[in-house]
Each structure stands twice: as structure tokens, then as C-alpha cells.
Structure 1
Amino acid sequence: MSTPETQAPEGIPAATVVIFRNGPDDGPPEILMTIRSREMVFAGGMAVFPGGRVDPADFELGAMMGGPLEPDEAAHQIAVVRETLEETGLVIGLSGEIDASKAQAARQFLQETGELATVLDHFGWELDLGQLTPFARWYPKNERIPRVYDTR
């Protein structure tokens, strides 16, 4: 029987993405990171990869998708698509007629509505999660930290 001290902490569902590209003139690869606001409770002021919590709407959209991914995994990937658009204005994991001006408009629309599904409907885009390559899961079950994220 486990006691409160031995139980793994409940992880907050989250997702993050490492975005990189080849450097100009055959230079080294470049990796995208953002700086969190210093006012943020968790990791304020730190350089991080784009990402964040999986929202209830991400779980809903993941459950509606069908296809080869389990709904929970789909929700995590949807969250990283949404968070990347929201935080950086980059469109990843989506297909359709996408250009820089539509991406900028989609970012603003997402910030107003808060849900990726409405952005997809508005711009006529579709999820294309095959563009993403899951490679790790960070879930520090045995750490004594106040906030634990289950991050994919």
C-alpha cells in the first residue's frame, strides 16, 4: 500500500517541441527557444522550447480525430501545434493554404478565441500531425517539486 510520500505526483498534461532548421550557408543547425515572462510562476524568465499545458479543447479535438494516434497522444500533439502558433506565430503540424500573412492572422485569431479548432475551421486548415516526430516524455515522478508536468 502506498502512502502520500511514496505516491507519484499527479502530472499536469503538457507538450513541448524542439524546432530546428539548417543554418544559412551550410552553417550549424539553429534551434528555436522563447523566453518566458519573468512574471510567470513556473520557470519565469527562462529560455524554453515552445509549448505548454494541454487544454480541455485539445483533448476534445484529439478525441474527435480518429486515425492512428490514441486520443491522449493526439491531444498532446495538438497542444504543441496550438502553443507554437500562439507563442511564436509559426505554423507546424497543419496543412492547407498557409503563408506568413495567414499565419500572423491565425495567431491573432487564436489569441482571441483560445481554441485551435476554431482556427482550423476559420482558415480551412487541417491537422497534419505526421509532421511531428515524438521522441521523449518527461515526467519526473520521483522528484519533490511543487508542480509536476507530464510533458511529451
Structure 2
Amino acid sequence: MPLTAPSDQPMPPEAPRVVPAATIVIFRRSAEAALPELLMVQRSREMRFAGGAAVFPGGRVDPADRELARKIAPEEPEEMTAARIAGIRETLEETGLMIATRRPVSAPEAAAARHMLLETGALAAVLDRFGWELAPQALTLFAHWCPLWDNAFDTRFFVTDLGTGAVDVAVD
């Protein structure tokens, strides 16, 4: 029996118990430099897991991410869509940057949305309040890492290109 699963599926029941998660590699092309610029954040030194590390935005997939995935993309594999939604939510929470929406989001809107998300913890409520529609397919699967031991993070890595231009980011 295999201990792995395709990237769009959950781990099989006989595999180690893992924690689904998502990470977003965000880059933009600078108008002045030929090389892309990557967005990373530094985790709080007090955090139990990887305290003080420089990381890409991301985190665990919450039950609300799965619920939203079933609502907005019922025909897509839930595991993959929920991971994308978790990455979108965590990026807004950690950086104040709203990605993968069908229309552009202004910096003031993103700041207000981040504030609301931090207060309520509910991305669906933020989407409703601002009239945003997610475009989870805008995030391209880049890698899938899953150590095969209990409580490991089963992480899907996605990439998104912000293009060029100024982006307001606010980190804690």
C-alpha cells in the first residue's frame, strides 16, 4: 500500500497523520532590476515551530478553508483548492497582501480586509464584505513536500507573479 498520494488528494488512511498546509512564493519583476523580487517574512522568535526563520507566507489548512473550497469550486479536488485558499488567507493575515482575486485590490481595501480577518478569522466573511471573488487557479502548484511521520506538515507550495509595480505589504 502506498504511503503517498497525488498532490490534489489527501494522504491515505494508513499513512502517517499529517497536517495539511500551504505556502505561497510571491514574486514581482522590478522595473529597475532584471532579477525577480521575492516576498518573505520572518517568523516570531517566540513561535514553537521555526521561530525566527525567514519563510514564505503560509500555514495550515483550516476547516473553514475546506468549506470555502467546496463552495467556490465544487468540481475541483477539495485538497488542492483548500490549500490554495489557506495560502491566500495566510498571505493576507501575515502580510496584508490580497492575492488571487478576480479584480485588483487597492492597498486601503487590503489593509481593511486584513484587519477584519485578524478580528474574525473568517476569509469568507472578508470576501463577502468586500465583494471579492477568489481566483485560486491563479496560484500555480510548484512543489509538494510531505515528510512521512506523524504531525508533519503536508505542504503544497504555490507560486504567484504580481507583475511589476508597487505593492503595499504590512507585516507584524
TM-score range, shorter chain: 0.7 to 0.9
CA shift for structure 1 position 16: 0.2
Q: Secondary structure at the match of 1:21?
A: strand
Q: How does 1:73-152 map to 2 (within 5 A)?
A: 73-96=80-103, 98-141=105-148, 147-152=151-156
Higher relative contact order (CA 8 A, sep 6+): 2
After TM superposition, give the deviation of residue 28 of structure 1 in Å.
1.6
Q: Report how many residues are paired.
A: 144
Matching of residues 10-89 of structure 1 within 5 Å: 10-66=17-73, 68-89=75-96
More helix by share: 1
Gaps of 5+ in 2: 2-13, 157-172
Unaligned runs of 5+ in 1: 2-6
Higher fraction of strand: 2
| Alpha-carbon shift at residue 135 of structure 1 (Å) | 1.7
Aligned-partner Cα distance in 2 for 1:97–1:49: 22
CA deviations 1:74-103 (Å, max 9, x no partner) are 110000000000000111111235201001
Residue 95 of structure 1 aligns to a residue in which SS?
coil
Structure with greater Cα Rg: 1
Local SS of the residue matching 2:141: coil
The superposition leaves residues 7-48 of structure 1 with CA deviations (integer Å, 9 ceiling, x where unpaired) of 743110100010011134133211111000111111011000
The two structures, once aligned, show a CA RMSD in angstroms of: 1.8
Q: Quick one: which amino acid aligns to residue 92 of structure 1?
A: I
